[in-house]
Structure 1
């Protein structure tokens, strides 16, 4: 049967898709909106390492196209299902995190997300704020941006601070 090898490619591709989704969720890659060199290298190496797992011995054009089509379809289906079923969405999609509420920093969340004081202050400055007490709400959004809302309406801006992956403070 001609379709059997392609069914194998589809099953392998779907398995790799779920593995990568779970791995990214477990390892907490919230910073995907801004990748550094190490992240790009990792993505390239992972894509190369899972290629054979998806297509097996079939290195033909059709094998690659079937694998890509299976990935597009499963991604489309997963997006539809996460919108329809809240529990599945909760498992697969990150949630926004509150960093500052009414001028009070959430140190537990900041530590968990590895957000430095300097990074937080940079986001506040981009929103025209200097002091933590001026912040009504500061959140790490699911796309890796930090949103800041102040009590003073004149400081509201439409800018977003993109998190940098390098969290180290370069103090001497």
Structure 2
């Protein structure tokens, strides 16, 4: 039983390390994944596997590790829904990129969004000119949402940001 308690402690430690790492590296890392991101995720999972299960490579050890990860994730999601303080520690907040046709260059720079990417997000939302943007936000999931001043525009779009600034894709 002592070996399984060790697996539980290791899993909790690795989970919180990954949670903190994702918080530090930001929401750009959570948007649409490219090849390098997938490779990073695979390498991280491989590198932390032994940190979670130690020398126990048994089926039971692996199942306990997986169960603990699911359980921690479930508990954290419940806490995020109930506690604004806990949510503010774990999750990023949405950031304003454009307000009333004026770009927030400091925020764009902080988030690593260049003018080409911002223009592409606007085009994905059917907006030609920045003056027509009432509000543009970088959402907590890495998406850029845009509200226009055009009252007749009913087109709903979904712009998914890739952090490598290549091959940006939107979903309608």
- Give the TM bin, normalised by the shorter chain: over 0.9
Question: Tell me, which stretches of 5 or more residues in structure 1 are unaligned?
Answer: none
- 2:32 is matched with 34
> 8 Å contact 2:22–2:29 — kept in the other structure?
no
Query: Relative to structure 1, is the Cα distance of residues 29 and 147 closer, same or farther in structure 2, using a 3 angstrom cutoff?
Result: closer
Task: Report the more deviating stretch, 12-21 or 123-132.
Answer: 123-132
Q: Does 1:142 align with 2:144?
A: no
Q: How far does residue 29 in structure 1 lie from its aligned partner after superposition?
A: 4.1
Task: Report the more deviating stretch, 77-86 or 66-75.
Answer: 77-86
Aligned counterpart for 1:47 among listed residues 45, 61, 79: 45
Q: How far does residue 38 in structure 1 lie from its aligned partner after superposition?
A: 1.2
Per-residue displacement from partner, 1:122-154 (whole Å, max 9, x unpaired)? 111111111111000001111221111111122
Q: How far does residue 47 in structure 1 lie from its aligned partner after superposition?
A: 0.5
Aligned counterpart for 1:68 among listed residues 66, 69, 93: 66
1:20-169 matches, cutoff 5 A: 20-167=18-165
1: CA distance between counterparts of 2:133 and 2:67?
46
1: CA distance between counterparts of 2:54 and 2:70?
19
> Superposition RMSD on alpha carbons, in Å?
1.2
Tell me the SS of whatever aligns to 1:100: strand
Question: Tell me, which stretches of 5 or more residues in structure 2 are unaligned?
Answer: 167-172
> 8 Å contact 1:129–1:155 — kept in the other structure?
no
Paired residues, what number? 166
1: CA distance between counterparts of 2:153 and 2:133?
10
1: CA distance between counterparts of 2:44 and 2:94?
27
2: CA distance between counterparts of 1:62 and 1:157?
51
2: CA distance between counterparts of 1:58 and 1:51?
10
TM-score (norm 2): 0.92
